[in-house]
């Protein structure tokens, strides 16, 4: 196998030989030129063989080569064999990946920057009805659910969106988008039909049980009120009678809130709504707060916008009332509560700020769960305890309006509950 020094040596010897032979005939330059032409012809011959070897079908048979060409052939064959081995490994990995995606129960769809389908697995055919010819089409042209389209256009989706499967009207799917590769994203779709059915069963059970409890509770409360007004009842029975009245009223409140929560969970997002006088809603909530036992002396309202809010007045009242009531329960009498309303280009905001006992950070993610109550390190100050459903009602009432709740709190310093409504909910007052 020739090396580059030997190649240069051969060329030099060939040039010298050509020059000497030409000199014998009195033409040294012609002899040198003929030597160069011979060297060029020799290299062109091997270049031709090299090209034929690369372009031939039977590429396995490598020419022997001479001189530096033997080195070239050997190097190219080494690179080809290495590429072949890597190609086999890649094909093996690709085969395993395809087998894994085929057996994966969730649908996986890779989308490019224009939301066009690049590739999808077998589960996507079953859940979404995608076909091979759908590749290259925009996903929103195939899944036309308004909630999904809004989710797809969100810059940073916070949580999966749940929609009815476009392939099966009796099945529900959860769609989640995650970044994938360069300027691409992966749409993961999971069948949540069973979970959805369980949620419906739970809501139906809660609603039915609450309805069944309401009638006997009304009867019990009526008898207790009658006994409380009866002058014939002895003084020794008054304290336990008042205790029974308090517990019966608390139970009735729990039933009412369970029914309200069940109603909100079953309701879909409200498209329009009517203008709500947010000033009147906040003022009413302040009056209710001042009537509560242990209410702080300062329950202030700050209005930084003249606009109103478009929505359901009952839902908005429920949101503001629950947040203010919650603040009263955990703020000392010498504390301060501020309810603020303002609007920006990013939406409309209602916040309730207090300087009460605050909430430890580890409890914040679960505050809106049903019946979740922070007992350790958060002593209740004003009034009786709630049902544990207030913030869950707030969460679902806001969801109906396309709004969300942000909670900031520091133990020992207070809390800030902020409701953010989309800009479309702002009603400009002339």
Give the residue-averaged pLDDT of 390-406. Answer: 88
pLDDT at position 63 is 66
Same domain, 89 and 160: no
Our count of domains for the chain comes to: 4
Give the residue-averaged pLDDT of 362-387. Answer: 67
Q: Is the pTM of this model over 0.75?
A: no
**Enclosing domain of residue 321:** 274-427
- Among 99, 128, 157, residue at a domain's last position: 99
pLDDT at position 377 is 46
Same domain, 286 and 415: yes
For the chain, give the mean pLDDT. 81
- Among 191, 209, 233, residue at a domain's last position: 191
Structure token pair of residue 82: 């290495």
Structure token pair of residue 254: 């729990």
CB proximity list for 226: less than 8 A, separation 6 or greater? none
pLDDT band at 419 (very low <50, low <70, confident <90, very high): very high
- Residue 423 in this model has a pLDDT that exceeds 60: yes
CATH, residue 207: 1.10.287.130
Task: Note the Cα 111 to chain centre separation in Å.
Answer: 16
Same domain, 209 and 153: no
Q: Cβ of 234: how many Cβ atoms within 10 Å?
A: 7
Which range among 138-152, 199-213, 271-285 shows the weakest confidence by mean pLDDT?
199-213
Same domain, 94 and 111: no
Looking at residue 53, the DSSP 8-state letter turns out to be: H
Alpha-helical segments (H) within 112-177: 122-128, 146-152
CATH, residue 353: 3.30.565.10
Residue with token string 């890779």: 110
50-82 pLDDT, tens per residue?
A: 777 777 655 556 666 666 777 777 777 788 788
Measuring CA to CA, which residue among 315, 289, 286 is closest to residue 303? Answer: 286
CB proximity list for 372: less than 8 A, separation 6 or greater? 366, 388
pLDDT at position 65 is 64
* CA neighbours closer than 13 Å in the CB half-sphere of residue 63: 20
Which range among 202-216, 224-238, 379-393 shows the weakest confidence by mean pLDDT?
379-393
Pairwise CA distance, residues 406 & 341, whole Å? 15
Alpha-helical segments (H) within 230-344: 238-266, 278-290, 313-329
Same domain, 76 and 160: no
Task: Note the Cα 263 to chain centre separation in Å.
Answer: 26
Structure token pair of residue 54: 């690369």
pLDDT band at 386 (very low <50, low <70, confident <90, very high): low
Structure token pair of residue 398: 């806001």
Query: What Å distances lie between residue 260 and 28, 318, 323, 424, CA to CA?
Result: 110, 10, 16, 26
Strands 426-427 and 184-191: what pairing? unpaired
CB proximity list for 408: less than 8 A, separation 6 or greater? 415, 416, 418
- Among 161, 191, 221, residue at a domain's last position: 191
Pairwise CA distance, residues 421 & 349, whole Å? 6
Beta strand ranges found along 57-171 (DSSP E): 107-111, 117-120, 161-164
CB burial readout 167-187, b (16+ within 10 A) else e? eeeebbbbbebeebeeeebbb
pLDDT at position 71 is 75
Same domain, 242 and 352: no
Same domain, 252 and 349: no
94-120 pLDDT, tens per residue?
A: 777 666 666 677 888 888 888 888 888
Please state at what angle helix 238-266 crosses helix 390-400, rounded to 10 degrees: 30
Same domain, 31 and 117: no
Any long-range contacts for 3-7 (C-beta under 8 Å, 24+ apart)? 3/68, 3/71, 4/68, 6/67, 7/67, 7/68
Q: Measured at the alpha carbon of residue 302, what is the angle toward residues 351 and 422, in degrees to the nearest 5? A: 45
What residues pair up with 374 in beta bridges, in sequence order? none
pLDDT at position 156 is 64
Pairwise CA distance, residues 172 & 184, whole Å? 25
Same domain, 170 and 225: no
Residue with token string 């309810």: 339
Same domain, 117 and 91: no
Same domain, 249 and 304: no
Same domain, 238 and 322: no
């Amino acid at each position: 196998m020739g090396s580059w020094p030997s190649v240069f040596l051969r060329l030099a010897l060939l040039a010298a030989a050509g020059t000497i032979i030409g000199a014998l005939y009195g033409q040294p330059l012609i002899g040198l030129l003929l030597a160069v032409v011979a060297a060029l012809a020799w290299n062109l011959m091997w270049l031709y063989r090299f090209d034929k070897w690369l372009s031939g079908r039977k590429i396995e048979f490598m020419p022997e080569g001479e001189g530096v060409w033997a080195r070239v052939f050997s190097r190219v064959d080494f690179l080809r064999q290495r590429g072949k081995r890597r190609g086999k490994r890649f094909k093996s990995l690709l085969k395993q990946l395809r087998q894994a995606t085929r057996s994966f129960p969730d649908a996986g769809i890779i989308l490019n920057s224009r939301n066009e389908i690049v590739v999808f697995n077998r589960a996507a055919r079953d859940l979404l009805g995608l076909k091979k010819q759908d590749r290259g089409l925009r996903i929103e042209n195939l899944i036309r659910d308004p909630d999904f389209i809004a989710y797809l256009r969100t810059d940073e989706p916070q949580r999966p969106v749940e929609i009815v499967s476009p392939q099966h009207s009796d099945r529900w799917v959860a769609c989640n988008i995650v970044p994938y590769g360069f300027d691409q994203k992966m749409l993961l779709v999971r069948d949540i039909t069973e979970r959805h059915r369980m949620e419906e069963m739970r809501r139906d059970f809660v609603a039915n049980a609450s309805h069944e409890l309401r009638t006997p509770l009304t009867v019990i409360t009526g008898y207790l009120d009658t006994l409380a007004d009866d002058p014939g009842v002895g003084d020794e029975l008054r304290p336990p009678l008042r205790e029974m009245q308090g517990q019966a009223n608390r139970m009735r409140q729990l039933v009412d809130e369970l029914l309200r929560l069940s109603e909100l969970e079953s309701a879909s997002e409200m498209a329009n709504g009517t203008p709500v006088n947010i000033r009147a809603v906040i003022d009413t909530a302040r009056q209710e707060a001042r009537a509560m036992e242990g209410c702080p002396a300062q329950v202030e309202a700050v209005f930084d916008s003249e606009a109103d809010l478009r929505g359901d007045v009952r839902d908005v009242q429920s949101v503001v009332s629950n947040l203010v009531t919650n603040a009263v329960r955990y703020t000392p009498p010498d504390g301060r509560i501020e309810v603020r309303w303002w609007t920006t280009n990013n939406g409309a905001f209602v916040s309730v700020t207090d300087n009460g006992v605050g909430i430890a950070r580890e409890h914040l993610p679960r505050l809106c769960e049903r019946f979740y109550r922070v007992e350790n390190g958060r002593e209740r100050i004003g009034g009786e305890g709630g049902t544990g459903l207030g913030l869950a009602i707030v969460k679902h009432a806001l969801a109906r309006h396309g709004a969300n709740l942000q909670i900031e709190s520091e133990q020992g310093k207070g809390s800030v509950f902020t409701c953010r409504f989309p800009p479309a909910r702002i009603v400009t007052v002339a």
